[in-house]
Amino acid sequence: MINEPKIVEITDIIDETPTIKTFKFDWNMKSLGKPNPGEFVMIWNFKNEKPMSIAQINDNELAITVKNIGEFTSQLHDLKIGNQIGVRGSYGNGFNNSFEGKKILAIGGGVGMAPINAIVSDLIKKGNKIDVVAAAVTKNELLYATSLEELGANVHHCTDDGSFGFKGFATDCTRNLLQDSTYDYAFVCGPEIMMKGIFDILEEAGISAQYSLERYMKCAIGICGQCCVDSEGWRICVEGPVFENDKINKITEFGKYRRDASGVKY
């Protein structure tokens, strides 16, 4: 882990969807530390800095997957191979990746598929059998579904508009799967309203899971308190972003509201 930006060169850019790109860059695991799936890095564009989930962890290479949703991400999307960015981290409490030979359910919605890609890729190497619910609004926004199939995951495509795979939400697709299957464990990341619905379904089914949350961050090292959640004072950047279901159950704002840069609920 490094607490000051490491300047890296972008080695590859993949156009994943019309609004999402993956950026790859070299990362010396020996000197900079090897992240665990579910951890995040702070990305600096030499003007501002934002947290980004780690989407891929390869030999001396990391990747982030970025959706173009504002000024900062738009500037990232304008970058080319050979351009530089600043990276510090990795940070946070990542996924538990110690499972071997288990039957796992991984559920990702939208760009939430990025950390799901990292944990599924890791767990497949350890001999786990994994079903993935890959959800998006429409076919053109599905992320990592094909590459995860190539790795050996059983991917259930899910689109809100029915343009590809299951027609409906990730919650609907998960309910269908649980009619005929059960799982040892689950991993979930996506819009929080989706995760709240999945949480209720998995709790009813008695399946333990981990959920990756997102909040507005500034320091990423637990000092500023910007990303605290209301009930327990847990910091998403330190105690999170990944929480197990017993802790999720104590976060009263989960699936209900968040706070902007000034702390106002929305």
End position of a domain, from candidates 57, 91, 125: 91
Q: Is 228 within any annotated ligand binding site?
A: no
Q: Are residues 108 and 146 part of one domain?
A: yes
Quick check: is 13 in a domain?
yes
The whole model's pTM is what? 0.93
Let me know: does 112 contact 191? Beta carbons within 8 Å. yes
Q: Is 219 within any annotated ligand binding site?
A: yes
- Distance CA(113)–CA(119), nearest Å, equals 10
Q: Print the SS3 string covering 109-122.
A: EHHHHHHHHHHHHH
Report, in angstroms and rounded to the nearest whole number, the Rg of the chain calculated over CA atoms: 18
Q: Are residues 83 and 133 part of one domain?
A: no
Per the structure, the complete domain to which residue 126 belongs is given by 103-212
Q: Which of 194, 131, 175 is nearest to 157 (CA)?
A: 131
Q: What pLDDT shows up at residue 233?
A: 82
**What contacts 9, CB < 8 A, 6 or more positions away?**
25, 26, 82, 83, 84
Q: Are residues 38 and 136 part of one domain?
A: no
- Distance CA(84)–CA(58), nearest Å, equals 19
Looking at the 3D structure of the chain, how many domains does it have?
2
Quick check: is 258 in a domain?
no
Quick check: is 236 in a domain?
no
Q: Which strand ranges, in their side-by-side order, compose the sheet holding 185-189? A: 166-167, 154-159, 129-136, 103-109, 185-189, 209-212, 242-244
Quick check: is 207 in a domain?
yes
End position of a domain, from candidates 91, 118, 146: 91
**pLDDT tens across the length of the chain (266 residues):** 667 889 999 999 999 999 999 999 999 888 888 999 999 999 999 999 999 999 999 989 999 999 999 999 999 999 999 999 999 989 999 999 999 999 999 999 999 999 999 999 999 999 999 999 999 999 999 999 889 999 999 999 999 999 999 999 999 999 999 999 999 999 999 999 999 999 999 999 999 999 999 988 889 998 988 888 876 789 999 999 999 999 998 998 888 777 766 666 76
Q: Is 237 within any annotated ligand binding site?
A: yes
End position of a domain, from candidates 212, 233, 258: 212
Q: Is 227 within any annotated ligand binding site?
A: yes
Q: What pLDDT shows up at residue 192?
A: 94
